[in-house]
Amino acid sequence: MLLSIQDLKVSFRMGKVDGQMQRALAVKGISFDIPENSTVALVGESGSGKSVTAMSILNLLPDNAEREGKILFQGQDLRQCTLRELQAIRGRDIACVFQDPMTSLNPVFTVAAQIMEPLIKHMGMSKKQALVRAEELLNEVGIPEPKRRLGNYPHEMSGGQQQRVMIAVALACSPKLLIADEPTTALDVTIQRQVMELMAKLKETHKMALLFISHDLGVVGEISDQVVVMRHGQIREKAPVAEIFSNPQDSYTKALLACRPSLTENPARLMVIDDHIAGRTVHEGAGKAKDPNAPVILEARGLKKSFFFKSGLFGQKEFKAVKEVNFKLRKGYTLGVVGESGSGKTTMGLTLLRLHEPTGGEVLFEGKDLLKMSGNDWQKMRRRIQVVFQNPYASLNPRFTIGQTLVEPMEIHKIGKDHDERLARASALLKKVGLDDTVLNKYPHEFSGGQRQRIAIARCLTLNPEVLVLDEAVSALDVSVQAQVLNLLKDLQDEFGLSYVFISHDLAVVKFISDEVLVMQNGDVVEQSETQALLNAPKQEYTRKLLGAVPKGYQGPAHVAAAAAA
C-alpha cells in the first residue's frame, strides 16, 4: 500500500475561553488507503474536511492545527517525521497541485525558474540540466512552444496554461503520489476536460498514484478508481467508482449525484442535499409557463467593444473583444451566454451595463438606447438593470455589515422614506433569498460563498430591477450550493417577472435556467437558438465541443481507459 491514513483527526486551536483552550474538530477520525498506480477521489462540499485531510499528509497546515492518528507512506509514519525529513519528501515523493495556480506560482519568477527549483534541490541537477528537463516537462504537459514559454511569467499565461505549469512543477521529480486539490474548479469546461485527460495520461506514463479532491462527482467519475465521500469531517461512503455511480448507499452521496444540472434531464427544480435527507422528490417538468407574447425588455443591436493598446511610439493596436452581438430578451425570460475564457461573454455583459463603454451598436431598454443616456436619465435606468458578479468574496465590501450593504443602494436611489423602512425592506429581501434578519449586523467574512452570493442577489433586488446580468454567478460554488442558488433564481423570476442575461461556461447549468442560448467564440456569436433546439442539434463544431466537455460522471471502464489514452 502506497499511502494508508488510519483514524486521522485534525483539530484547530481557537484560543482560550475562561482559561480553557477551545478546539474545532475538522476531521473526525477517518481511514482510507491509496494503492500504488491508482486514483482515489476525495469528494464533498466546502467544509467537509477533504482539503484539510489532504494537507495533513505533508503537514501543510497552519500552526494552530493538531493531528492525531497515523499517515503511513510506504510504511513510514509521516506524523513522526522531522521537518528536514518532510522537506525531502515534499515535491520529490509526494507533490501537490492546488486550485488556484496564480496563488501557487510565484509572480516574480519565470516559469523556467519555478520548474528548475525542485530539479536542482531534490534531483541534484545542474542549472543547464534542469533547464533542458524544464523544457521537456512543458512539452509533456502540452504547452505550445515550450522553449519560448520558459521565459514567461505566470501572468503572461492563461488559467489553463498556468495549471499545466503547476502540474509540470509537481511532476518534475517523478513523484510516487500526486495530490490534486480542486485542480479544475476555476477552469472552463473545455480546459477542465483537457487538464483531466492530461492528468490521467501522466498518471499512466509516470506510474504514480493520484489523490484527486473535488466537490463534483461528475468530474471525479471520469478519472478515479476509488471514491471517498466526506461530509462534516467524516467519511459517509467509500467504494469503487462504478459502485458509487451505479449503486450509491449513502443519502448524501445520492444527493451529490442528483444536485448537478444534467444535459439529459429537464427538472423544474434541482435536487438539493436537504431534499434527499428529507426523502423529498423533485418531479420533471417545465416549471412555470412563460408568456410567448411577453414584451421585449432588452435588445442589443450590433453591439461592439474594442480595447486599444499602444503600439510603437505613436501608434495603437485594436483588440476586438466583442465584434457584433444581436439579441432580444423578453420580460420573464433568460438568455444564456456561453463560451470559453476569452470568448467575450463577460465583456459583452459589462458593456450592456456600460461598465465598459461600447465602441459601436445600440442597447435598447424598452426601446430607449442606454448607450446615449447621460446624467439623471442614466442614473434612473441603472436601478432597473443590475449585475451579480462571479466572486461573492470580492463583490461585497468587507467593512460594511450586511445591513449597510443592502441599505446603501436604497439611500442612493431614494427608495424608502427613511432608514427604518429601508432596513425593513432589506430584512424582507433576505428572507426571500433564504436568510433571516439576524444576519443584518454581521460582516461578509462570517458567511459561506453560497450565502454571500444570496446576499449579493438580495442587494440587487433592493432596487426593484427588471433585468439581472449574472456573470458566472454560480461557477465558484459547490454543486449543492449551486443548485440552491439556481432554484432561487428561478423562484425570483417566477415571482417578480425578472429577465436574466446568464453568462456561464457550463452548458449544463445554462440548459437548466435558460430559454435561449447565445454561443460566443473570440468575440463572435457563432450560434444562437432556443435552448433545447441548440442542445438537440448544435450546428457549430465549437458548440459540440462545449457540449462534449461537460463532465458526465462514470461511463464504464472503457471511458476511463479512453481518457487515459487521450
Express each pLDDT in 499-539 by its tens digit. 999 998 888 889 999 999 999 998 999 999 999 999 999 99
DSSP count for the chain of H helices, then E strands = 22, 20
pLDDT class for 27, splitting at 50, 70, 90? Answer: very high
Hey, what's the cell of 125?
541537477
Express each pLDDT in 354-381 by its tens digit. 989 899 999 999 888 988 888 788 888 8
What are phi and psi for residue 217, nearest 5 degrees?
-65, -30
Hey, what's the cell of 13?
486551536
Q: Which of 44-58, 186-200, 209-223, 511-525 has the lowest mean pLDDT?
A: 186-200
Cα 137 from Cα 168, distance rounded (Å): 6
Cα 367 from Cα 354, distance rounded (Å): 17
- The whole-number pLDDT of residue 557 equals 56
Q: Residue 227 forms beta bridges with which residues?
A: 41, 239
Q: Residue 360 forms beta bridges with which residues?
A: 304
Cα 86 from Cα 122, distance rounded (Å): 12
Helix H or strand E segment including 77: strand 76-77
Instruction: For residue 165, give the amino acid letter.
Output: V
| More confidently predicted of 275 and 497 | 497
pLDDT class for 540, splitting at 50, 70, 90? Answer: very high
Residue 13 scores a pLDDT above 80? yes
Cα 87 from Cα 93, distance rounded (Å): 10
> Quick check: 321 and 344 in contact, CB under 8 A?
yes
Nearest CA among 64, 65, 63 for reference residue 53: 65
Query: Mean pLDDT across the stretch 398-404?
Result: 93
- The whole-number pLDDT of residue 561 equals 45
> Quick check: 220 and 227 in contact, CB under 8 A?
yes
Q: What is the rounded end-to-end Cα distance, in angstroms, of the chain?
A: 28
SS3 518: strand
- The whole-number pLDDT of residue 4 equals 96
- The whole-number pLDDT of residue 331 equals 94
Q: What does pLDDT average to over the chain? A: 87
HSE, side-chain direction, 13 A CA sphere, residue 57: 30
In the chain, where the domains are located: 297-549
Nearest CA among 70, 71, 335 for reference residue 177: 71
DSSP one-letter string for 527-564: EEEEHHHHHHS--SHHHHHHHHHS------HHHHHHHH
133 alpha-carbon distance from chain centroid: 32
- The whole-number pLDDT of residue 282 equals 59
pLDDT class for 411, splitting at 50, 70, 90? Answer: very high
- The whole-number pLDDT of residue 43 equals 92
SS3 75: coil
Hey, what's the cell of 23?
478546539
Nearest CA among 385, 334, 343 for reference residue 510: 334
Hey, what's the cell of 78?
509521516
Domain 297-549 = CATH 3.40.50.460:
no
